[in-house]
């Protein structure tokens, strides 16, 4: 092991399309295995990352599988972005901790496999749940130093307003996420990353990039987007275009749908339905359409070369929206990776 070039090997649980793994790789961490239940994750994960993929539920993973993946590493990293749905219909009537079964399985694997390092990215609301306090207490009782914070991705050079909980833990010593380097005056904007892409009409696709494809718009929604302002809402429309549900008192408090993004600000949070004009403020700042699948991926800081489908693969908006919208932004993964690499260099013997 070289002091300034340690080999840090990662296993990425709930890996999805590979946003976190790609970011870790850019920082010098070596992702070796991604684990996910969704078979549609396998192609983008293995096509874009130098790692294997295991189609498996995390509750079926055994510690020995992780230890095999960590073989020959100077330091081992277990990453997990457990989908947390504590308020789902399924969870009603269940014990509170059962609602967070995936998180508890992540905890099980940490305790049994004892990786040197741990990272987790999750929804901000998790920090208020008792299960999170139990998670932290369990790690600290096993000798891990922990730190966590809710971050706004735009503070880290990501052209998107996206708040996420980021946790780091280490057996080596105190660890923390690198401090933000951006403020409002230096935020990456929609214009910065999408301004030079090929123009499209609603329902059109690029001849050179199959993912740069925009969903169709109904005649009514085409009229609506034509009168929509950058950063505005449906409240800017003529009354005859406003949806009946928004005319009711209960609907007047939901303005963050049917809107255009602003060129000179970060985008709103990219969700799994970002390709639909009516699903949020996902209208293109200038063109009369929702943003394309590729544009959403770029706002999630996936490289333009990132491939989500094999050649000739079917463009399924819902499926691709899930892969891209649920991903950890690549740039956030890189920030996490840089924080970890600096940490292991500082805590090596003789440092």
By annotation, the residues acting in catalysis are: 84
Within 8 A by CB and 6+ apart from 138, the residues are 107, 110, 111
Q: What is the side-by-side order of every strand in the sheet holding 8-13?
A: 52-55, 30-36, 8-13, 75-80, 117-122, 163-170, 145-152
* Cβ atoms of residues 236 and 308 within 8 Å: no
Tell me the two tokens of residue 329: 């932004």
* Cβ atoms of residues 23 and 331 within 8 Å: yes
Within its chain, how far is the Cα of 245 from the centroid? Answer: 31
Nearest partner of 12 among 45, 39, 38, judged by Cα: 45
Q: Which residues of 86-98 are buried (b: 16+ CB within 10 A; e: fewer)?
A: beeeeeeeeeeee
* Cβ atoms of residues 155 and 164 within 8 Å: no
Q: How many CB atoms lie within 10 A of CB 182?
A: 16
Q: How far apart are CA 284 and CA 278, in angstroms?
A: 12
Within 8 A by CB and 6+ apart from 233, the residues are 255, 256, 257, 258, 259, 281
Query: Is the torsion defined by CA of 141, 24, 37, 87 positive or negative?
Result: positive
Q: How many CB atoms lie within 10 A of CB 245?
A: 10
């Amino acid at each position: 092991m070289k002091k300034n070039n340690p080999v840090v090997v990662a296993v990425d649980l709930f890996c999805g399309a590979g946003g976190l793994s790609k970011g870790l790789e850019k920082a010098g961490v070596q992702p070796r295995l991604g684990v996910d239940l969704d078979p549609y994750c396998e192609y983008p994960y293995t096509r874009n990352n130098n790692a294997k993929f295991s189609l498996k539920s995390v509750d079926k993973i055994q510690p020995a599988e992780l230890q095999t993946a960590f073989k020959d590493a100077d330091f081992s990293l277990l990453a997990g972005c457990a989908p947390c749905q504590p308020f789902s219909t399924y969870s009603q009537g269940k014990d509170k901790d059962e609602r967070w079964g995936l998180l508890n399985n992540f905890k099980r694997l940490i305790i049994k496999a004892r990786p040197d390092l741990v990272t987790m990215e999750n929804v901000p609301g998790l920090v208020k749940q008792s299960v999170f306090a139990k998670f932290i207490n369990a790690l600290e009782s096993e000798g891990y130093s922990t730190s966590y914070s809710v971050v706004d991705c735009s503070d880290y050079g990501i052209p998107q307003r996206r708040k996420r909980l980021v946790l780091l833990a280490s057996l080596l010593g105190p660890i923390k996420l690198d401090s933000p380097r951006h403020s409002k005056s230096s935020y990456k904007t929609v214009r910065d990353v999408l301004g030079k892409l090929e123009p499209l009409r609603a329902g059109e696709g690029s001849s050179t990039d199959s993912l740069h494809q925009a969903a169709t718009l109904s005649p009514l929604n085409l009229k609506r987007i034509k009168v929509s302002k950058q950063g505005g809402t449906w409240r800017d429309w003529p009354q005859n275009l406003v949806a009946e549900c928004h005319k009711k008192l209960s609907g007047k408090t939901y303005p963050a749908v049917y809107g255009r993004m602003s060129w000179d600000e970060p985008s709103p949070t990219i969700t799994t339905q970002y390709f639909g004009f009516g699903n949020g403020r996902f209208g293109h700042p200038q063109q009369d359409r929702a943003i394309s699948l590729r544009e959403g991926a770029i706002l999630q800081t996936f490289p333009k070369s990132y491939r989500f489908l094999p050649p000739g693969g079917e463009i399924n908006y819902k499926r691709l929206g899930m892969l891209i919208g649920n991903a950890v932004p690549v740039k956030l993964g890189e920030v996490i990776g840089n924080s970890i690499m600096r940490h292991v260099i500082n805590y090596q013997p003789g440092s």
